[in-house]
Structure 1
Amino acid sequence: MPFRIILSKIVFLAFGLRFIFAQVDVIGDRTFLFIQNNNEINLPFFSNQSLDTPNYSVQKAVIVIHGANRNADDYYNSIYNNASDLGVLSETIIIAPQFLITADLNHWQPSTEFAFWSGTTPWSSGGLSNFTNEHPRDYEISSYTIMDSLIAHLLTIYPNIQDIALAGNSAGGQFVNRYAAGSDQDAEGKIRYIVSAPSSYVYMDEYRYREYLFPINWELPENCVGYNDYKYGLDDLNDYMSMMGIDSIRERYSRRKIQYLIGSIDTGGTQDCESMTQGSNRLERSIIYYNYLQYFYGSQIVDNQQIALISGIGHDHNGIFSSSCGRNAIFNIGDCEQYDNLIYPSSNFSSNNIFGEYPHTVNFINESVAGTHPLYSFLWNINDSLIYFDGNLGYTFSYPGLFDVSLIAFDQVGFSDTSVHQSLVHIDTLYGDIDWDTEVTDSDASLVLSHIVGDELLSPLQQATGDASNSASLSAFDASLILQFISGIIDGIPIHDSDSFIANGDLQSPEILGEVGDIVTIPISIENSNNLHSFTISFTYNNVQLESGSVYLGTISDYGFLVESSVSDSGSIIVTGASPTSMDGDFDLFTMYFIPTEFENGQLEIECNQIMLNEVTQEQSFSIIISNQLQVGDDIIPGRISLGNNFPNPFNSNTSINVYSDTNKDVFLYLNDINGRLVKVLLDTEKSKGLKTIHWSGTNDLGIKVQSGIYFYTLETEGFKETKKMILLK
């Protein structure tokens, strides 16, 4: 028969009966009888009133749930004594149900067919009652179904009841926490829930402590696969809870009027991994759970649910129930500032010495004030750095800018307040000091160039610091100005007028011939240059047709230029350079090397898509055409001779030189050292025609390895002579 139908057939009877057993000291002197299909089962309880005789003078009910020891009599006596002290005993019915376990029945063998459970977890989480061969039962029933029925019966017998307090401590606190989430028994809106000192709570989703800021730290258990299974979360719900559904559980819990109680020195608790994901002890778990509810539901949850820490109390139900906040929660009598007059903490701070050059230390004075609860911890946010620090804080700013500073003050239960001072700290900019080491050096200029070619990624603040031309962008000209400042050529940066730094010049490259698989050398030079301090030149090419792109410097490095370059796999090259002094005239900038893999219609094109001299983009249209020398045929200019740049250059073992001649003249290629002495004859042929690639392994005519240094190679024939430089490194 479906579970709901079974419930509809339960009827309620009560009669007096008293048992005394040593196992649990006392079994309840009254029983609550459930009948289903003429089958009976009983639940013992303690009470100061009968459940079978109407009483119109009773206006309040307190149902108190015991802990794992099942000592319902102690819990009943605690509530009874407090009600008597407060003078409300005559108008209050007190009920202390007793959820026995198998061990109790095994020991005492009672004649009454009591409902019993296999252990603490089943009855505290709404599980079904147990049956054994020794203690057979006609049916099973959820502990939460019993509570639903008890409350419904209570309202029938005591029609003038205006307030029902369902309170539980320890395992009883777990019972109330989960029952409040799962039960649809709202008792006509009259029920309130008091959750005291449980060892664990039911979480509404899979997230735990790390999802919010409140700073309690403990070692989270690893590989705790069941941490979100019910009773700790909402996975794998039992029969009772699954009937309600997860969405209903979440929505219902947010509407419950719940007051949480926990002793301020209650640092014990279960140590299973599922509980440990919620905190290291009961005190922490209660505080964390209350903060979690605000994270999950929003801050408005505190309108329905409050928490109180009972000073100086450990895991003691009577100490908690008898405290002013315990009485306030259970009986709605007396004062509890933590509930009635809650004051949030107030965050505030002052500071001094908030202006200066980096590195600069600012002292922040914490002036936060506690509210109802003592201040617990503080979270500073300085320059997007989160710092937990109690008391005053000294912070050193290591780079320039305007900095916001905020402080969050947390109290003992996680309530917080935030104070924010925007643009509080002013750290002056040292223009050109991109690496923020308090000095402007060549390395800062190199960082600018590396950023331009993509080898370094400078932050927006670093780019602004390097903007020595005050142009709101970063260019190689900024690197030049940094070098000029270091050299003393200009007095300071940034400059405010760059009109005197206009440069011009024209890029040049000779006609290039090549064959598939051979190294193609492409020298790039500038002619008619004037006032040149920096350059940035970029190319694009078909990276399928041209492979192994590389760049080597020309004579420009001899004139004090810092140069950076990059070659991308997608087919682009960027070369940029800067010098402290201006250059005029004609000179080599750099050389590019490629290996063609195929020619399209006998030609390959390398397109120049940016030419920037100083800080001005040039209008020159420039591209490089590589012609396949096997297909040029009659188009070759008669008598053409060319000497290519060696590759690689510099080199440390082998380098190659391309020589082309379209004549039948004798061709000589020889090598001299820097003093002009002949080192080696590399080519000596008669009537040499076509493209030749000459290799040199760094040896002289005797086969002996020569020293590192600068060497000059010369191509000479009738009516033609050309010399170029190479560098041997070891």
Structure 2
Amino acid sequence: MLRSGAGALLLACAASSVNAATPAATPVLNDIADAYAISLGAKAGALNYFVSRRAPGSSDDTAVSALVAFHGHPRDAGRTLAAGELAARQAGRVADTLIVAPLFQVASPASERCQSAGVPAAQPGDALWTCSSWMAGGTAKGSSVTSFAALDQLLADLKRRWPRLQTVTVTGFSAGAQFVQRYIAFANPPAGLSVRYVVADPSSWLYFDDVRPAPQRNGQPVDWRSCTQTSGESACSYVFAAPATPQQCPDYASWKYGIADMPATLGRTASEARQRYAQADVAYLQGALDMGDGPGTAYRLLDKTCGAQLQGPYRLQRGLAYLAYDQHMLSPQKKRSLTVVPGCAHNVSCVFPSAEAAPVLFPTTGR
């Protein structure tokens, strides 16, 4: 199901707002949250995570749910946490919900390519990844502990520290959404937690077979860009088939774009990973303006490899196509939905606190 707060995708894409192009000021993470760390083992080191400070009158006893929000490529955990906190406040959920922002640390000088202001630098004893390895389940430096396994341990630590937790929504924006979308297929959350997932504006997606989308309308192929310039009734439909000339992109079906050549450290077969994803509680979010190469689209960070380009030209188109893939080929019984947020481009500070995102990030069931 495609959902848009503007009613029609054309109206959503024509909308504009200051938030779509202008990020919010970056907060200092330690000023707005309490820091925690969990040991991933002697060889791996510690994973740091941050929990937004509780509202006046709240106590740990009132925390029955959590929003675990993963940062983007710049490792902007402070901005991501602040966006999640604002979203919770506007949804009336600050009293019963923990807002959690994990931080995948990268050692200097490599971290200079993916560092945000207000985020603490890596310290001795921290688990370390590269700027991109954590997105696809890579292992912490010097160990066999994957970033996926690190999230499993984080969820277990949350349940230990806040034993009344019942439900957790794991979400990510941009690179964080790439991480979450792939983690779903390999998750091993602790017993006693109901876990759901929200994937928001990733640059690329994990497909579970060799087919890729091709847009069409009335049975005829159309240009990708026309799929979000509808004049009322519909966007494109999609056909799914293997590329006609796969030799031009020989690795398109390999990890992290497909399930071929998956790292053994992930611990599941391709069929097991597909089944796990198909059974999970998953929803999708997209900014209506997260397309093209204009201001606010973070086009510089868009994955432009051939494996990603076969999924669509821009993030919005890739998300729309993946929804169709999910609904028709992956998990039709789940009737998963994609919510398009009007007026937002590639900006977590716009997407997460939006009225459209509220019921996706903070569902009323299970409260």
Normalised-by-shorter TM-score class: 0.7 to 0.9
Residue of structure 1 equivalent to 2:48: 44
Q: 1:290 to 1:111 in 2, by over 3 A?
A: closer
Structure 2 equivalent of residue 159 of structure 1: 163
CA shift at 1:270, angstroms?
A: 1.8
Letter in 2 for 1:247: S
Q: 2:248 aligns with which of 223, 235, 252?
A: 223
2:208 partner letter: M
Aligned partner of 1:60: which letter?
A: S
Show CA shifts across 1:215-249 (max 9, x none).
653598871111011110000112343x1111111
Distance 1:290 1:111 in 2: 40
Q: Of residues 167, 185, 188 in structure 1, which corresponds to 2:189?
A: 185
Supply the distance in 1 between the matched residues of 2:220 and 2:155 (Cα, whole angstroms): 37
How much does 1:298 deviate?
5.7
Distance change (3 Å), C-alpha of 1:189 and 1:35: closer
- Matching residue's letter, 2:204: S
Matched, 1:69 2:74: yes
Work out whether residues 25 and 71 of structure 1, in 8 Å CA contact, stay in contact via their aligned partners in 2.
Answer: no
Partner of 2:316: 283
Letter in 2 for 1:102: A
Please list every run of 5 or more consecutive structure 2 residues that lacks an aligned counterpart in the other structure: 1-26, 113-119, 226-242, 292-298
Structure 1 residues 95 and 278: alpha-carbon distance in aligned structure 2, compared to 1, 3 A threshold: same
Residues 109 and 168 of structure 1, relative CA distance in 2, 3 Å threshold:
closer
Whole-angstrom distance in 2 between the partners of 1:218 and 1:89:
40
How far did residue 109 of structure 1 move?
7.2
1:606-645 maps to which residues of 2 (within 5 A)?
A: none
Q: What's 1:250 paired with?
A: 274
Q: Distance in 1 between matches of 2:86 and 2:196?
A: 20
TM-score normalised by L of structure 1: 0.38
1:269-418 to structure 2, matched below 5 A, reads 269-297=302-330, 299-302=332-335, 305-332=336-363
Map of 1:79 onto structure 2: 84
Secondary structure in 1 aligned to 2:88? helix
Alignment of 1:516-531 (within 5 A): none
Amino acid at match of 1:114: D
Unaligned runs of 5+ in 1: 1-23, 132-138, 335-730
CA-to-aligned-CA distance 1:245-288 (integer Å, 9 cap, x gap): 11111111111111100011111432111100100110110011
* Cα drift, residue 125 of structure 1: 0.9
Tell me how far 1:86 sits from its aligned partner.
Answer: 3.0
Q: Name whichever structure is richer in strand by fraction.
A: 1
How far is the alpha carbon of 1:87 from its aligned partner? 3.0
What residue identity is the alignment partner of 2:67?
A: V
Give me the whole-angstrom Cα distance separating, in 1, the residues matched to 2:105 and 2:283. 27
Contact 1:26/1:73 (<8 A) preserved: yes
Q: Is the 8 A contact 1:26 1:71 kept in 2?
A: no
Distance 2:273 2:191 in 1: 17
> 1:112 maps to what in 2?
124
Identical counterparts, % of pairs: 26
Size of the alignment, in residue pairs?
297
What amino acid is the match of 2:333? Answer: Q
Task: Give the Cα–Cα distance (whole angstroms) in 1 for the partners of residues 222 and 131 of structure 2.
Answer: 32
What SS does structure 2 have at the residue aligned with 1:202?
A: coil
Residue 43 of structure 1, CA deviation:
1.9
Contact kept in structure 1, 2:215 and 2:221, CA below 8 Å:
no
CA distance in 2, matches of 1:162, 1:211: 41
Which structure carries more relative contact order (alpha carbon 8 Å, separation 6+)?
A: 2
Q: Is residue 327–residue 333 contact of structure 1 (8 Å, CA) maintained in 2?
A: no
Work out whether residues 63 and 95 of structure 1, in 8 Å CA contact, stay in contact via their aligned partners in 2: yes
> SS of 2:357's equivalent?
helix
- Alpha-carbon distance in structure 2 between the residues aligned to 1:147 and 1:126: 10
SS at match of 1:184: coil
Aligned-residue CA RMSD in angstroms?
Answer: 3.0
Separation in structure 2 between the aligned mates of residue 103 and residue 306 of structure 1, nearest angstrom = 40
**Aligned-pair CA distance for 1:32:** 1.4
**Structure 2 vs 1, CA of residues 110 and 229 (structure 1 numbering), >3 Å: closer, same or farther?**
closer
Which structure dedicates a bigger proportion of its chain to helix? 2
Distance in 1 separating the partners of 2:34 and 2:131: 22
Cα distance in 1, alignment partners of residues 315 and 44 from structure 2? 38
